[in-house]
Amino acid sequence: TMARLEAAGVSKAALRIVWTSGLLRYGPHAVRSDLDPEAKRRLTVFLTNLKSMTPDVYDLLETTHSGGFTVASQKDYAMAAAIVRMVSGKQGGQ
């Protein structure tokens, strides 16, 4: 967030919002990069299989949206990445 960047010492004048959107895929879940790989794997399996394996539990946890969790990919963020590249003047995957 902007507040976190400012708290980290980035000048507000140096920041520019180039794209905003609603939540992506019901709000992406993130885990710490230092979380044990097996724990990450188990969490991914749990979330992505929750609806198909235990629909009653899924319905208790997710009453607003339907469809279940899916693993996010680069493709899901392609538009945001393209906008950032355009605004920053960078081309390709730089």
Q: What integer pLDDT is reported at residue 36 of this predicted model?
A: 94
**Model confidence band, residue 77 (pLDDT cutoffs 50, 70, 90):** confident
Identify the burial level of 52 via C-beta atoms within 10 angstroms of its C-beta, where 0-12 means exposed, 13-18 middle and 19 or more buried.
exposed
68, 48 contact by CB (below 8 A): yes
CA distance 49 to 73: 17
Chain segment 27-76, per-residue pLDDT in tens: 667 788 899 999 999 988 888 888 888 888 887 777 666 666 777 788 88
CA distances from 48 to 28, 33, 43, 70, 93 (A): 12, 19, 8, 5, 28
User: Considering the entire predicted model, what is its pTM?
Assistant: 0.45
CA distance 39 to 93: 30
Mean pLDDT on 1-7: 86
